[in-house]
Amino acid sequence: MDYFDQNQGERQTIDSAMPDRVTIMEVGPRDGLQFEKKILPTPLKVELITDLVEAGLQEIQVASFVNPGIVPQMADADTLVAQLPEQAGVVYNGLVLNSKGVERAAAAGLKSVEISISASETHSRRNVNMTLKEATAQAGEMIRLSKELGLAIRAGIQCVFGFPDEETIPFERIQSIVEGFMEKGIEILCLSDTTGMADPGKIDAVMEKICPVVGDLDMALHLHDTKGLGLVNVQTALKYGIRHFDASLAGMGGCPFVPGAAGNIATEDLANFLHTLHIETSVDIKKLACCSRRLEAFFEKRFSGRMHRL
């Protein structure tokens, strides 16, 4: 199997595309914690994120700047960011849903934000009460504002691999969103398997078409482990040269639209898997495992990850 790289003007084989190093964005402090009803106090969040940096993680999504009445776990986003230690080479990122969120993130001191819209019309209406057209227009304004404030932009597309009521997402719709993001100027594109419906066949189908569209723009994948296919999907994506993946400590997280679904790929499981493929991550698995065990103790529950139990 191969794919056409418009920038190189030639076909690249899977073997030549496989990266020798992968950057993991830790999304546990945001995507993982937001599903927990028990509030992790701000000092413990600061301690957790500091420990994640010590474990070698260089990209961490630390919070979402949303309505605290809807997501109480994120009520301290502004004060949390202000207390995080600056570390050379470490990027703290925040998820923003509107222009107010962009302004809050910048005022708190973040240098990077994620702006995300859904490729599913149904999911967009249920999640943010907007049509895809409305969400796209709002994202454009948020990108403009982020640039004005000097923020790096990570653009995300949710439900790329399906939504329960809209199982197949037309690729033309995905391509249109991608091209819109690229025209406005972004640093990295993240394709999200929001509902955990991806499988190797779906990964192949999307990646074979999307790689020529994005050219040399960096891409990330945000994969869930709903059906136990998370790491298999990672291996499939690696064939296309993907070198950025999201993951969450202990496998925290989930999807409100798929009740009972497992969370994100566990960070320590992903790092271990990549290491077995001789792909560097800079991550210390033992230190990550300690963080995961402490979170399980605090929340008094067992998460879906595996490596932190060994």
Provide the annotated active-site residues: 255
Question: Using an 8 Å Cβ cutoff, are 253 and 31 in contact?
Answer: yes
Rounded to an integer, what distance in angstroms lies between the CA atom of residue 200 and that of residue 202? 5
Distance of CA 139 to the CA centre of its chain: 17
Rounded to an integer, what distance in angstroms lies between the CA atom of residue 173 and that of residue 178? 9
CB atoms within 10 A of CB 11: 10
Rounded to an integer, what distance in angstroms lies between the CA atom of residue 77 and that of residue 245? 23
What six digits make up the tokens of 187? 């640093």
Question: Using an 8 Å Cβ cutoff, are 290 and 283 in contact?
Answer: no
Please name which of 233, 249, 225, 208 lies closest in space to residue 60, comparing C-alpha atoms: 249
What six digits make up the tokens of 28? 């546990």
Question: Using an 8 Å Cβ cutoff, are 199 and 230 in contact?
Answer: no
As a dihedral over the C-alpha atoms of residue 2, residue 3, residue 8, residue 14, rounded to 10 degrees, the angle is -40
Rounded to an integer, what distance in angstroms lies between the CA atom of residue 163 and that of residue 122? 8
Secondary structure letter of residue 29 according to DSSP: I
